Every structure is written in C-alpha cells, then in structure tokens.
Amino acid sequence: MVRELAAYEGLLEQVRAGESDLLRDGFGQDPYFQCLLAEVDGEAVGFALFFYSYSTFEGRPGLYLEDLYVADKARARNLGRRFMARLASIALDSGCTRLDLSVLRANPARGFYHRLGAAEVADWLPYRVDGEALKRLAEAE
C-alpha cells in the first residue's frame, strides 16, 4: 500500500522502504511509528501511519500523521474520515494538543482535510535536510 500511495502521488521513484524496514521500525522494541489498518473482508485496504511529536511552545505532545491511504476500491466506505476521527481520539487520549499533517499542494484530498476542520499553516514553511546535505551537516559537527 505504501507503493500504491506513492504511485497515486506521482512519487513512486522515491520509495526506498521495504517490508523489513517497516517491521523493524514499527514493530520492534522501540517503534518509531504506529499504524492503523483498515480491512474489508479480510483484505487490507487502507492505513494511517503516525508518530508523536512535541511542541516546546505548548509543552505538550502532538500527533503527526505521516501517511493516510485508502485503496480506490474502498474509497466509498468513509474510511478516510474514520481514520481521521480515530487519530483525533488517539491524540486527545494521549494528551496531545494537535494533529499535524502535510499534504502535497496538488493532492485532491486537500478539500477532504479542509472539510474535517484542518487548516493550512500559512506562516510555516516545510524544510528538509536529507541525502548529501544531511551527511555534510553531520560532518560539520
């Protein structure tokens, strides 16, 4: 499903993660993420992968939704809304003050998130240091 999501977003060539990576990082002794799974008739048709963050301004944790995916054949089942509602419950039950996510500008699901009450954070720009830049930065220590 990760590859299906990446293909949907036009980013398939960026997928490096394999099954062993996900098993190690999500199901090991100290997992980096948690995942909700949707099944229809015993078949996995969607997932929501998330992890906890922390706000130094609020002094409280937050929940970050990394990926939400529902297969085409299951999209009429309201699973996206159900995933989001469950994530909101998990966030509140965990003492989180917010649920954060990033959405590609061209993603048609942006309207879905707006209808759920999500708002773009206009004052904040996403930045990333990865690949060679990450290595160079680490070497500057």
Question: Mind telling me the catalytic residues?
Answer: 113
Give the residue from 27, 2, 24, 20 showing the smallest Cα distance to 12: 2
Structure tokens at 111: 């309207």
Element (H, E) at 138: helix 131-139
Element (H, E) at 99: strand 99-101
Structure tokens at 46: 């969607």
Rounded to 5 degrees, φ, ψ at 18 are -120, 175
CA distances from 114 to 88, 103, 109 (A): 15, 11, 9
Cα radius of gyration (the chain): 16
